[in-house]
Amino acid sequence: MSDELLRMTGIVKEFPGVRALDGVDLDVRSGEVHCLLGQNGAGKSTLIRVLTGAHQPDAGTIHVNDELVSLNSPTDSMRLGIAAIYQELDLVPDLTVAENVFLGHEPARFGLTRRQETNTKARELLKGLGHGEIPPGRTVGLLSAAGQQVVSMARALSREARLIVMDEPSAVLDSEEVDNLFRVIRDLTSRGVAVVYISHRLEEIRQIGDRVTVLKDGATVATGLDARQTPTSELIRLMTGRSIEYVFPPRQEVPADAPVVLEVENLARPREFADISFSVRAGEIVGLAGLVGSGRSEILETVYGARRATGGVVRVDGRLLRPGRVQESVRAGVGLAPEERKSQALLLDQAVYKNITVSSMGRFASGGFLNGRAERLAAEELTKALDVRPAGVEHPVRNLSGGNQQKVVLARWLLRDCRVLLLDEPTRGVDVGARSEIYALVRKLAANGVAIVLVSSEVEEVLGLADRVVVMREGRAVHTGAAQDIDEHRVLDLVMEGSAV
Amino acid sequence: MSEEVARSQATQDQSQDVPTPSGQAMIEVDPTETTPRGGRSGGDGGGTGNAVTNLLKSGAGRNLGLVIALVLLCIVGVATAGDRFASTANVLTILRLAAVIGVVSIGMTFVITGGGIDLSVGAMVALASVWATTLATQQLATDYHWILMVSTALLVGAACGLVNGLLVAYGKIVPFIATLAMLAAARGLAEILSDRKTQIITVNSFVDFFGGSLVGIPVLVWMFVLVAAAGWVLLNRTTFGRRTFAVGGNAEAARLAGIKVQRHTVALYVLTGLCCGIAAVMLMARTTTGSSTHGGLYELDAIAAVVIGGTLLSGGRGTIVGTVFGVLIFTTLNNVFTLNNLSISAQSVAKGLIIVIAVLLQQRLAARAP
């Protein structure tokens, strides 16, 4: 046990309405690559934030070198030698490579930075990482994603980190760069540094990992698994086997003569997705499944006109929508419930009814004057029908729970009688009880003839709710078919084995 | 420094209006009429009652602190200056002074609520006042009607606002910089047009109309009341106002909800420019001049009034009633200081303190709200 560097026991972290972590155990030894596996929303990112001191756990203990510690701030974690390399790199783009490496602990004398020494030291670190070719004086913003990642790693090393967390480091890299990343990781571990490695690509875990810990629904379901020997099916079973069963409403047969409402043909945006085609009939739910970054949300936003398509067409009721025009989509009867409810959909400080009527204000206005009473009445009717709690339409939306906020967004589009509803992660941040309600609501909307496109990171949700699914991987549709004909394992296989194909 | 020149100009402006003591105390606001509505966040009140009672209700409830501040100032005024403060003439003076900056502040409330800021208001007032008092314009006004001077001022203001709006909405220049450029350019243009000379207004009908009184209350004050009332209705009762809150509160959400965010932004700056045009007319009437030094530091006074009134500088929350109180507080403060022969510098210090205290209090209250 002497080589045990980190032990986290029973970590709990709650956010309003969500228990993000619910008893996580993790132990990491010096010199190993410890892989963290779990579906989106399993709690990996929150766990990292606890480890790096960005979040404080509500319960549980953390030991570093058998010593009980409390990580109250990122500085605490750094002092203990814990560093993280995030998916979104946290570099200052306008500073140089060397300045970024030593940001926060610049070599200095009498308060003056020592440029020469900084550059020399940075060069040594970069050389150690096998990237002596990166000039320390270059502005970081000019480097490639891979180069920036190396800088991030150099920064971690400059702090003499003993434990480096890497959150999906390979996501931005091509295969050659991944090889180099692995070389660096092996070099680090041979020096006794421990690496916590997060990736969705199972074959990478097989290649670089020593042990695996699997998270599901905020809790550790297995730990200390052998990264090379544990069969894929076992890992996927651990990740997906649910403790909570969601209730999905029964599917309804879409009538054969139901008209096609939404047609998407060869839709494309560079570096996001390409060649996406699907159509949705009235009353049908089509689900897009795939990992974060596989282009799902981007597709929805492009269909909606919030992003401008560079190729392909979108038709609603046979009418062409010009690309990049939200106005036109809204007029044609398209509604979007975006992924980031709070930043993209809601006016948090405004009353519930104002959030509901914001897209159909014209209906309540004469000569520009709003009829507040009519607005409230319409909103009350909807909130009652959707069972928004607390009742009443005067509360600021901020005070509502995630599930109820989502209902408010849906009510906005219900009020417009929209023909097409684009739902991006409709149950993110929604607690378990309210989920089934949202599912029932979505199904009911479909039954009323709305064409629905659903995006979710939770494969089960897509399969349970949709009539047809499109499986996405790295911006491409890799499978399209009826939801009944495919199961969760097969979908995960399709999206995760990724580059192995 | 030119700032100081502008400042002393403003002081002269005010000292012209120092009143003669006479008449009865007349304090506008009676605190007993207010109905504090504890913790509730009641927005626009219920659907019942007419606009006036709603205005009083929500205004009084939300702005209780401002009312108290104003009353305290008045008490200080009465205590230190006695009848010189508490006279009808003095109250009218305060209102006359408040009217001009008040109209500018109403416009500023819109642009700030919509998530922007306009630093060029003072410069727009100056340019509009100069353009409306050129010899040519005045000649036209003498030949036909003074309405030509008014429309010139309004057009100039609106046009400057349009440029501001286009730069911000379509040029993607941050409002601070775009309107800073307008601040420099508009005042410069005003100096060129006027050759840095004060242009005396010779159109008597103009001065007579705007300098006069209606039912004992100066026309200028009526104008402020009208602009404020119209602003309140526009912000709280129309689609335009609702969109302003939406755009300022969360521009991305507004865009995804189908609001034409860019067009709305342009409209907000035009509206502010228009208010500056109105303010220019009022200032012309009060000083019977047009000058490139008019409206000095109005941007700071207006922003200060708006912010202490309770409008969120980052947008999404705004109150016309609060702004009106903000303006009255600052103008009363100036008046009390002037009556007590305190220096303009002491006034500035007091202003600074009030801004800080007001914002600190607001943050506390906002944190306590549910």
CA A280/CA A316 separation, integer angstroms: 10
A484 and A381 in a common domain = yes
Tell me if A249 is assigned to some domain. no
Contacts of A327 (CB under 8 A, 6+ apart): A305, B258, B260
Nearest to A394 among B43, B237, B260 (CB): B43
Residue A414 inside a domain? The answer is: yes
pLDDT in tens, chain B (370 residues): 344 444 444 444 444 443 433 333 333 333 333 333 333 333 333 344 455 444 444 444 567 788 888 999 999 999 998 888 989 999 999 999 999 999 999 999 999 999 999 999 999 999 999 999 999 999 999 899 999 999 999 999 999 999 999 999 999 999 999 999 999 999 999 999 999 999 999 999 999 999 888 888 999 999 999 999 999 999 999 999 999 999 999 999 999 988 999 999 999 999 999 999 999 999 999 999 999 999 999 999 999 999 999 898 888 889 999 999 999 999 999 999 989 888 888 888 988 998 888 888 777 765 554 3
* Chain A partners within 8 Å of B258 (Cβ): 326-327, 329-331, 359
Q: Which residue from A326, A346, A412 is facing B255, i.e. has the nearest CB?
A: A326
For residue A160, with 0-12 CB atoms within 10 Å meaning exposed, 13-18 middle and 19 or more buried, which class applies? Answer: exposed
**Gap from A385 CA to chain B (nearest CA, Å):** 22
- Candidates A92, A96, A91, A107; CA nearest to A136 is A96
Judged by a CB distance cut-off of 8 A, whether residue A415 touches chain B is no
Q: Do A349 and B243 touch (CB under 8 A)?
A: no
**What is the signed CA dihedral for B29, B30, B31, B34, rounded to 10 degrees?**
-90
| Shortest distance, CA A410 to any CA of chain B (angstroms) | 12
Domain boundary among A191, A206, A240: A240
Are B238 and A368 in contact (CB < 8 Å)? Answer: yes
Q: Which residues of B are less than 8 Å from A399 in CB distance?
A: 370
Q: Say yes or no for a CB contact (<8 Å) between B250 and A361.
A: no
Tokens 């897509």 map to which residue? Answer: A462
Minimum-distance CB partner of B252 among A343, A373, A396: A343
Beta strand pairing status for A219-226 and A365-366?
Answer: unpaired
Cα A127 to Cα A150: distance, rounded to the nearest angstrom = 10
Q: Does A354 touch chain B (CB under 8 A)?
A: yes
Q: How far apart are the first and last CA of chain B?
A: 47
How near does any CA of chain A get to the CA of B267, in Å?
A: 14
CB-closest option in A331, A350, A412 to B245: A350
Which segments in chain A show pLDDT lower than 70? 1-2, 17-18, 40-41, 87-89, 111, 172, 241-246, 431-433, 497-501
Task: Give dist(CA B305, CA B308) in Å, integer.
Answer: 5
Tell me: do A125 and A198 sit in the same domain. yes
Say whether A35 sits in a helix, a strand or coil. strand
Measured distance CA(A479)–CA(A488) in Å, rounded? 13
CA B298: distance to chain centroid? 8
The answer on A73 and A112 residing in a single domain is yes
Inter-chain touch A368–B240, beta carbons under 8 Å: yes
Name the phi and psi angles at B86, rounded to 5: -85, 60
Our measurement of the distance from residue A194's CA atom to the centroid of its chain's CA atoms, rounded to an integer in Å, reads 26
Q: Is the Cα dihedral B282, B284, B290, B294 positive or negative?
A: negative
* Residue A347 to residue B252, Cβ atoms within 8 A: no
Q: Specify the pLDDT at position A358.
A: 92
Instruction: Indicate which of A349, A373, A406 best probes the interface with B, i.e. most B CBs within 10 Å of its own CB.
Output: A349
CB-based contact B245 A347, cutoff 8 Å = yes
* Cα–Cα–Cα angle for B102, B105, B107, rounded to 5 degrees: 120
**Interface predicted TM-score (ipTM) over 0.85:** no
Yes or no, beta carbons of A306 and B255 under 8 Å apart: yes
Chain A: residue whose CA lies nearest to B249: A347
Regarding whether A317 and A221 lie in a shared domain, the answer is: no
Separation between Cα atoms, residue A284 and residue A255, nearest integer Å: 9
pLDDT at A364: 92
- The answer to whether the CB of B115 falls within 8 A of the CB of B316 is yes
In chain A, residues with a C-beta closer than 8 Å to the C-beta of B40 are none
For residue B52, the model assigns a pLDDT of 46
Q: What is the pLDDT of residue B31?
A: 36
Separation CA A297–CA A280 (nearest Å): 17
Pair type for strands B289-290 and B199-200: antiparallel
pLDDT at A8: 93
Decide which of A205, A240, A275 is a domain's last residue.
A240
**Rounded Cα–Cα distance for residues A252 and B90 (Å):** 77
The rounded distance, in Å, linking the Cα atoms of B370 and A396 is 9
Q: Is B208 helix (H, G, I), strand (E, B) or coil?
A: helix
For B243, the closest chain A residue by CA position comes to: A358
Do A332 and A265 share a structural domain?
Answer: yes
Selecting from B237, B243, B260 the residue whose C-beta is nearest the C-beta of A369 gives B237
Answer whether A374 touches B (CB < 8 Å).
Answer: no
The label of the residue with tokens 């502008």 reads B6
When CB atoms are compared, the residue of A343, A359, A370 closest to B257 is: A359
Beta bridge partners of A8: A26, A62
Looking at the complex, does the CB of residue A396 fall below 8 Å from at least one CB of chain B?
yes
pLDDT at B26: 37
Count of domains for chain A: 2
Looking at residue B20, its amino acid is T
What's residue A290's pLDDT? 84
Residue A110, chain B, CB below 8 Å: the answer is no
Please tell me the distance from the alpha carbon of residue A422 to that of residue B211, in angstroms, as a whole number.
60
pLDDT tens per residue, range A199-242: 877 778 888 999 999 988 888 888 888 888 888 778 877 877 65
> Which of B156, B155, B149 has the alpha carbon at shortest distance from B209?
B149
Pick the residue from chain B with its C-alpha nearest to A338: B256
DSSP code for B33: G
Residues from chain B contacting residue A394 (CB–CB below 8 Å):
42-43
Partner B contacted by A368 (CB < 8 A): yes
Same domain, A40 and A155: yes
Alpha-carbon gap, residue A84 to A106, rounded angstroms? 19
- How close, in Å, is residue B250 to chain A by CA atoms? 6
d(CA B270, CA B121) in angstroms, rounded, equals: 11
Is the Cβ of A198 closer than 8 Å to some Cβ of chain B? Answer: no
Tokens of B136: 């040519």
DSSP A358-419: TTSGGGGEETTEE-HHHHHHHHHHHHHHHT-SS--S-SBGGGS-HHHHHHHHHHHHHHTT-S
Min Cα–Cα distance to chain A from B122, Å: 30
Strands A260-269 and A311-316: what pairing?
antiparallel
Would you say B234 and B107 are in contact if contact means Cβ atoms under 8 Å apart?
no
Token pair 């990343």 is found at A181
> Which pLDDT does position A432 carry in this prediction?
65
Work out whether strand A112-113 and strand A67-69 pair parallel, antiparallel, or are unpaired.
Answer: unpaired
Asked whether the beta carbons of A26 and A220 are under 8 A apart, the reply is: yes
Q: Which of A354, A357, A361, A399 to probe the B interface (max B CBs under 10 A)?
A: A361
A133 within some domain: yes
| A366 near B CB under 8 A | no
Is A65 part of a structural domain of the chain? yes
Same domain, A142 and A287: no
| B154 token code pair | 């309004």
Residue of B nearest to A302 (CA): B256
- Give the alpha-carbon dihedral of B297, B303, B308, B311, to 10 degrees: 170
Cβ(B316)–Cβ(B114) under 8 Å?
no
Helix (H) or strand (E) holding B256: helix B251-256
Residue A120 lies in a domain: yes
The position carrying tokens 């549910």 is: B370
In the prediction, which pLDDT does A78 show? Answer: 86
Whether the link from the prior residue into B370 is cis, omega within 30° of 0, is no
Beta partners for residue A473, in sequence order:
A476
Nearest CA in chain B to A363: B239
What is the rounded CA–CA span in Å between residue B35 and residue B38?
9
Domain B2-18+61-368 has CATH 1.10.3470: yes
Task: Give the residue numbers spanning the domain of A432.
Answer: 260-500
Structure tokens, B110: 């819109």
In a domain, A252, yes or no: no
The pLDDT, as a whole number, for residue B244 is: 95
A73 CB within 8 Å of a chain B CB: no
B186 vs B120: CA distance, rounded Å: 8
Would you state the pLDDT for residue B14? 42
CA distance B39 to B109: 24
What was the pLDDT predicted at A43?
83
| CATH code (residue A394) | 3.40.50.300
Give CA–CA dist A458/A462, Å, rounded.
7
Whole-angstrom distance, CA of residue B258 vs CA of residue A325: 9
Rounded to whole angstroms, the Cα distance separating B93 from B83 reads 14
* A319 within a domain of the structure (yes/no): yes
Select the residue of A348, A354, A399 nearest B242 (Cβ to Cβ).
Answer: A354
Residue A247 lies in a domain: no
B277 to A349, B212, B233: CA distances (angstroms): 33, 19, 20
B-chain CB neighbours of A376 within 8 Å are: 47
Q: Which of A326, A331, A372 sits opposite B256 (nearest CB)?
A: A326
**B63 to each of A114, B70, B99, B309, B311, how far by Cα in Å?**
54, 11, 20, 8, 11
Cα angle value B25/B70/B227 (rounded, 5°): 90
